[in-house]
Every structure is written in structure tokens, then in C-alpha cells.
Structure 1
Amino acid sequence: MRAMLPDAGGSVLPGEAPEPEPADDEVLIAVEAYSVNRGETFQLDGRLDRRRPGWRPGKDVAGTVVRSAADGTGPAAGARVVAHPPASGWAERVAVPVHSVAALPDSIDAVTAAALPLAGITALRLLRAAGPVAGRRLLITGASGGVGHYVTELAASSGAAVTAVSSTPERGAQLLELGAAGIVTSPADARGPYDVVLESVGGASLPAALARLAPGGLLVWFGQASRTPVALDFFDFFDGPAQARIAHFDYTRADTTYAAELATLIRLVAGGRLHPEIGTVRDWSRTAEVIEDIRGRRVRGNAVLTVG
């Protein structure tokens, strides 16, 4: 079958891959659309040392089940689905455990669905890690990305007063429409204090955001998009928020089954309560081009490729 294969330059090339061989608890999906995430660009360029022999990228897919699971669980052949495989989704077909697949209603197309899994699951689990947000002040950095977009809309609709950090006011404009109480271009410009900070940029962003926590506040650290390591000075805490807490977050650590969250995301989209921001839709032959546009921050929201 045709698939996108990692190349030596940190990108992908079209090529041939073996047909998937589903396990008894896996369905075989004919992929109609997939999304490219920033984390996958890190894997491709070696920034995340998670590549295994035979590894191919692809964690967000939507399509049609062409073979149901041998153990009788999960959707039947012919069902439209959204799925979150561990890898290998940038291909004509992919095998996915039934615990990471959810049915799609006719009202949601494959392009919209493909923009949901990784960013949407991360947003749901981040907000669980943050605790109840109704009536609380929340600051999120890197808010123009897919995760930030979903967190802003979900938190605002739950009653949080969200301040979103976006690189430019233009990139943050849609976040105001989704319920953000304010937009700033740097955490240093945020007034605070905040009960919760969700930080994903790294570098100087984390210390600046940490200084804006309320006493006893929580900072959840879930990424380092700038690729710049964070430096913290312990003595700065004496002038900062008393009893501030920092929690590391990895959406895969607590649970590696995703069907429930995928079903929740689909329900929210179908009900008009969640609105994916799709910055570009292109044929999958242009995947390498999209990867470079994501690295150059030329895509706002999700980038979706259609397989045809």
C-alpha cells in the first residue's frame, strides 16, 4: 500500500509499506484524512527519541472500517470512524485498537474529525488535570495551536476566565470568539494572578507564567514548543506565589485508551459546542510541504491531509 515514509532529512517521502496485519482487537481502517501534529515533526527531526525500527508517523486519522476486529468488539465493517493509532496513520490503511476508535455521525466529515484526536484528547485531559475551572482564572500559553484552541473553548464554556497567550493579536482573534476573556502576546503582559496556568512553550515563557500564579496556584507544564529549555531560579519563588505547584503532564501516561474521549469530542462538535480550527486542507501528496509550514509557523490551527 502507499504510505508516507520517514526520510533522512527529517521529513517524509511517498513510498510503499507492508499491509497492516490487525491484531484480534484491532480494526482495519481505510484512511480518508489525517492530521499532522507538531509533536510528529519533532519525532521526524529526532527531537523526540521515540522512533522504532519500521516506525511511520500518523496518530490522527478518520476513515471507514474495512475489516472489523476478529474478537467481535468495536465498529463493524463499513462504519465511519475517527481514530487515534499509536503510529503509522499517514497511509492508505492503518490497524487501530478498538479502544482508540469512535463512530462518526453523518453530520461530521472526515476532515473535521481528523483534526480532533491528539489535540482534543490532550485538551480534555489537561482540563481534568487542572481540576474544576468554573469561576477560576486560567492562563494558557501557546494558545494559537490546536490544543490551545480546544482548551480555550472548553474552559470558557465551563465558566473559566481564560487569558490566552498568542504570538500576535491576529492569531489570537478567533480565541476571543471562542470565549477567551483576553489575549496577550506574552505571559509577561498578563496581569494575573491566575489560579491555573497551562504552559507549553518553554524557555522564558514558563518562569514568566509561573510568576503570575495566585498563592497555592497550579502550573501544568505540557510542552516545550519553542524547543528552548526552561531555567528556573529557586530563589525567585520567595518573591513569587506562595506554595505554587508545578505538575508535569503527558497525555499518554495515565491511560492509553482513547475511545471515550474521542466519543466526547465528536458529541461536542455535533452539538455545536466545539469548533475545530482547520488552518489548511491539502492532498496527502503535499505532506512534506505541510510539515515545513508547521515548522515555520505558517499554519494556524490544524493541518489536515486528504487521502485519495
Structure 2
Amino acid sequence: MHALLPGADPDKPVILGEVPEPEPAQDELVLTVEAYSVNRGETFQLDGQLDRTWPGWRPGKDVAGTVVRAAADGTGPAEGTRVVAHPPAYGWAERVAVPTGAVAELPDSVDAVTAAALPLAGITALRLLRAAGPMAGRRVLITGASGGVGHYVTELAAASGAAVTAVSAGPRRGARLVELGAVDLVTAVEEAEGPYDVVLESVGGDSLPAALARLAAGGLLVWFGQASRTPVTLDFFDFFKGPAQARITHFDYTRSESTYGDDLAALVRLVATGRLHPEIGTVRDWSRTAEVIGELRGRRVRGNAVLTVE
């Protein structure tokens, strides 16, 4: 079976190779992959900035396709069912085994390319908003909003009644965020006019302290990423300059009581009913994955990047 393997050359982050067919556990199904999405975290793993989790790791957490082997324990969809899935890895391949609890069925109205953009970014957005609490009537600031998570968060929060200010690297990259409901678009945190009840911060470096300074007294800052790869330095006394009694909480999308399958089903339902619109910046054949990774690293892709497997 063909699959993309981690490359040894920074200019070739992945290479096409041969791997054994997946051997599913009792509660896993096998699907033939029709499309997958590339996440920024996977690019960090490929260049060694994040732990690759285990020996023999291969990338691939967001996939869509058709079940070709149902789970042996009788759970999950039957063979021939179209699905979207969130495996722990190995999805950039012709076939992949996935726990049935990380799968959701697809209606005819949702194609594989659209579905492949949903798992990690969509699940993160859903769980991030749950962690932030009720949105109606609240002023919300989100940094790094031009990526997949930012587009989902903006649309979902705005639909829930929040006044969202989105931070994007440039007006062109952020234009879609306004269409999805953001009331304000700025190109730097320093341009945002607070105070904000909730700040959703994913850039790190100087971005987090600047965002904290715009948080309302008693407000909440949810720290869910560090895309700049630059550590954050905070001054305790900055809390007394405005956001007195404010809270900072770390967010990890994997820590949740709900299953990936439940959240995937919710995302599919929102897309099918026209209430959620995945922002897909590029769609290409999977032979061009290394090229797409380079563009993601250079922040030249807005929203999600999806590859199709022929």
C-alpha cells in the first residue's frame, strides 16, 4: 500500500513509500482514503519541533473516505459507508484503520474534500467554545484567526451572538472572517480595541501579553496554541493594569468527555444544514503534499489545505 512517510530532508518533509496494509483492532474499521487535510501541528512534527509520539509514526489525523472493512466487534458503520474520521495518525495513505468512536457518517450532500477539512480544526473549535462558555452578547478576540480553527470559531461564535474581533496577518487573508460574522478585523493585536470578555490566543510570543492587556476585568483568556513557536513571557503586575481578577487557562482539544465521533457528527450536521462553511484554501493531489506543507509553513494558505488521493 502507498503512504507518505516522514522525509529526512527539510525540503522534502514527506516521501511516497510502501507500507503494510493496516491491521485493525477489534473496535477499528478500515477506510479507503479519498481526501485528507494537513494540520499545522503535523508540519511541526515533521520538522522535529514537536514529538512524533511513537516510533514508526506517520502523519494523518484528518481523513474522509469509504469503509472497506467494518469493525470486528460490530460497532461503527458498515462496509460501503462514506465517513469522516479522526485517527491518531497514519491517514496520509491509501487506507487507514480508525477507532469506530472517531468516525461519523457522511450524507450525500457533504463531499469528501469538505469533510476532510473538519476533524482537528472543527473539533478544536467546538471544544474551545465550550471551554470559553456562553457567547451571546460577549466581546471576543481571537488571534491567528486565518487558519482552519479561526474560521470555524469565528462563524460559530458569531452565530451564537458574540461580537468577534479577528486578528489576521493581512486584510486579504482575513476577508473571509468578516463574511463569516466577525464585526472587526485587525492585522495586529495592538490594533484591537478592548476590553474583551474572552480572548482566544493561539500565537504565543508577544501576542499573548498584548491580548491579555485587552482583556476585561474578570475576563477569560484561553491559550490554545503557540503558532509562532516563540515562548511567552508574562509580567504578574500586568494583571493590575486592566484585567484584574482575570483568568488564563490552557486548552487541549484532546481532553474532553465527548468522543471525536460525537463532535464529528455535530460538525457534519452543521455543514449539511448550511450553518457551517469550511474554508478550504487549496485542494490538490496528494503527490503535492510536500509543496503544500511548505506553503502552510510560510502562511500562504488561508483556512484548510486538502489533498485528494487518487
TM range (shorter): over 0.9
Alignment counterpart, residue 290 of structure 1, candidates 289, 292, 302: 292
Aligned with 1:62: secondary structure?
strand
Letter in 1 for 2:39: N
Distance 2:243 2:302 in 1: 33
Is 1:9–1:45's contact at 8 Å kept on the other side of the alignment?
Answer: no
Distance 1:8 1:254 in 2: 35
Residue by residue, what CA displacement relative to the aligned partner does 1:228-281 show, whole Å, maximum 9, x if unpaired? Answer: 111111122221311010000010123483000000000000000000011111
Q: Which residue of 2 aligns with 1:7?
A: 7
Q: Which residue of 2 aligns with 1:123?
A: 125
Aligned with 2:79: secondary structure?
coil
Q: Which residue of 2 aligns with 1:194?
A: 196
Aligned with 1:13: secondary structure?
strand
Distance 1:110 1:52 in 2: 29
Distance 2:299 2:195 in 1: 29
Aligned with 2:230: secondary structure?
coil
Aligned with 1:18: secondary structure?
coil
Distance 2:31 2:122 in 1: 20
Aligned with 1:33: secondary structure?
strand
Q: Which residue of 2 aligns with 1:258?
A: 260
Alignment counterpart, residue 267 of structure 1, candidates 266, 269, 275: 269
Alignment counterpart, residue 235 of structure 1, candidates 218, 237, 245: 237
Distance 1:141 1:14 in 2: 35
Residue by residue, what CA displacement relative to the aligned partner does 1:207-236 show, whole Å, maximum 9, x if unpaired? Answer: 000011111000000000111111111122
Q: Which residue of 1 aligns with 2:161?
A: 159
Distance 1:133 1:257 in 2: 23
Aligned with 2:9: secondary structure?
coil
2:84 is equivalent to residue 82 of structure 1: yes
Residue by residue, what CA displacement relative to the aligned partner does 1:27-65 show, whole Å, maximum 9, x if unpaired? Answer: 100000000000100011111113311100000000000
Instruction: Tell which deviates more after alignment, 54-63 or 236-245.
Output: 236-245
Letter in 1 for 2:292: V
**TM-score for the superposition, normalised by structure 1:** 0.99
Segments of 5+ residues of structure 1 without an aligned counterpart are: none
Distance 1:256 1:57 in 2: 24
**TM-score for the superposition, normalised by structure 2:** 0.98
Is 1:144–1:171's contact at 8 Å kept on the other side of the alignment?
Answer: yes
Distance 2:151 2:94 in 1: 29
Distance 1:29 1:279 in 2: 25
Instruction: Tell which deviates more after alignment, 230-239 or 130-139.
Output: 230-239
RMSD between aligned residues? 0.9
Distance 1:288 1:172 in 2: 25
Alignment counterpart, residue 217 of structure 1, candidates 213, 216, 219: 219
Distance 2:187 2:210 in 1: 12
Aligned with 2:282: secondary structure?
strand
1:9 deviation in Å?
2.5
Is 1:73–1:98's contact at 8 Å kept on the other side of the alignment?
Answer: yes
Distance 1:275 1:144 in 2: 14
Distance 2:259 2:52 in 1: 19
2:173 is equivalent to residue 204 of structure 1: no
Distance 1:234 1:264 in 2: 40
Segments of 5+ residues of structure 2 without an aligned counterpart are: none
Letter in 2 for 1:60: D
Aligned with 1:8: secondary structure?
strand
1:111 deviation in Å?
0.3
